[in-house]
Structure 1
C-alpha cells in the first residue's frame, strides 16, 4: 500500500529495521553512539515520537530541531548550539561527529487513504501531516488563481512579505515549499497530491540542511552522516483494533562524510562490521 502511494521512490522499509541498518553503516565509518551526537529534524507531531525514539536508541538523546512539516528552521545559531554539544575525540579540541536525521511524515492507512490517521482517544479521523496538507492548499490556491506569470509573481511577492508572529512556522513552511516549486520547476500546483507535497518538503529540508552543513561544519575537524526521507505511518483505520500500526521510512538520501570523503549507503545491504 505504501509503495503504491509513493510510486517511483525507494521501497519503504520498516522503521526499526532501517534505523538499525543506517546506524550500522554509520558506525562502520566511526560514527558510533559514544562518539556522535544526533540531530532530529522532524515535524512537531507527537506521532513522530516513535521515530525519534528509534534514533535515540542508537545515539542517545538527540538535539531536537523539529518544526511544522519537518522544515529546517534552526538556522546557523541553532546548528552552532548543536555542534557545541558534540563529544570530542581525545579531549578538548578533538574531532567531532554529527548524525543528521531529516524526515517529513505522512499518514497512509491500511486501506491506502493518504493523509489520514487515527489517534488514541480521538473519535474522528485526524490528519498527518496537517501542516503539509495546509501547505498543499496554500500552493494550490496560488497556482489556481494565477493565470499568468505576472499574476503568479505578484502573488508570490505579496505572500513572501507575510510572517505572522502567531503562526511563523507555518508561514515559513509555505514560503519554503513554494520557493522550492519555483526553483525546481516542480509539479503543477493544481495537480499535486499530498505525496508530491511530502516529497517536495523532504527535498527542500535536505537542501537547507546541506547548506547549513556546508556553512557550519569543517570536514577537517568533524565527520558527519545524513539520513533524509519520508516517515510513513501505515496505521489501521481503527486505533487499537486488530490491524497493526506500522512505521515505515522511505529513504531519499543516506550518506556519511568522513575525513572529507563522502560515501553513499544502500540501506538494503547489510552494514559492514564496525
Structure 2
C-alpha cells in the first residue's frame, strides 16, 4: 500500500510540475501564434504536456526519478533552456541531465561520450534520452525567428 501511495504522490507531483510550464514554443499564450505553429507542425504540444506524457508513458516500465540517467541531444541554442521547454522540464524532473548533442540535435559525443553516459546509469536503472531539432517562432508567428530575453526584435533561431 505504501508503494502505491508513493506512486500516486509521484504522479501528482508530475501533474503539478508540468501543469505550470505553460506553452513551450513561446513565453506567451497567444492563440494566433498557436494556430500558426499547428499549421506548420500539426500536433505540436506545449513542453509541459510532452514532459507529462513522457513521465506517464514510462511509468509502466518501472522508470522513476530515482532510477534514471536522463540525457538530451538538442540544439545548444539558449532558448532551449527556457522554463517551459521539454528538455528543461525533464532535467528538472529527473534532477540532472547529460548533454549529448548540439546544433540540429544530433548526438556528437561519440563512442567515448556514450560510454560515459552509460556509466552513469543507476544499478538496475534506466536511460531516458530526448533528442531532436527545434524551431523558434516569433511573437507574430514567423518560423525561424525568436524574441529572446533582452532583445528588442526577433533574431534567427533554428
Length-normalised TM-score, structure 2:
0.70
Q: Which runs of structure 2 are paired with 1:44-59 in the superposition (5 Å)? A: 44-50=76-82, 51=85, 52-59=87-94
Cα distance in 1, alignment partners of residues 133 and 150 from structure 2: 24
Cα distance in 2, alignment partners of residues 111 and 5 from structure 1: 14
In structure 1, the gaps of 5 or more residues are 89-94, 130-274
Shift of 1:110: 4.2
Tell whether 2:114 aligns with 1:79. Answer: yes
Post-superposition, which runs of at least 4 consecutive aligned residues in structure 1 deviate over 3 A?
A: none
Length-normalised TM-score, structure 1:
0.42
Shift of 1:58: 2.2
Cα distance in 2, alignment partners of residues 56 and 105 from structure 1: 17
Tell whether 2:53 aligns with 1:21. Answer: yes
CA RMSD of aligned residues (A): 1.5
Q: How many residue pairs were aligned?
A: 120
SS in 1 for 2:133: strand
SS in 2 for 1:31: coil
Q: Which has the higher strand share?
A: 1
Q: Which residue of the partner structure matches residue 123 of structure 1? A: 152
Q: Which runs of structure 2 are paired with 1:87-236 in the superposition (5 Å)? A: 87-88=122-123, 95-129=124-158
In structure 2, the gaps of 5 or more residues are 1-35
Q: Which residue of the partner structure matches residue 33 of structure 1? A: 65
| Higher relative contact order, chain-length normalized (CA < 8 Å, sep 6+) | 1
SS in 1 for 2:130: strand
Cα distance in 2, alignment partners of residues 116 and 45 from structure 1: 12
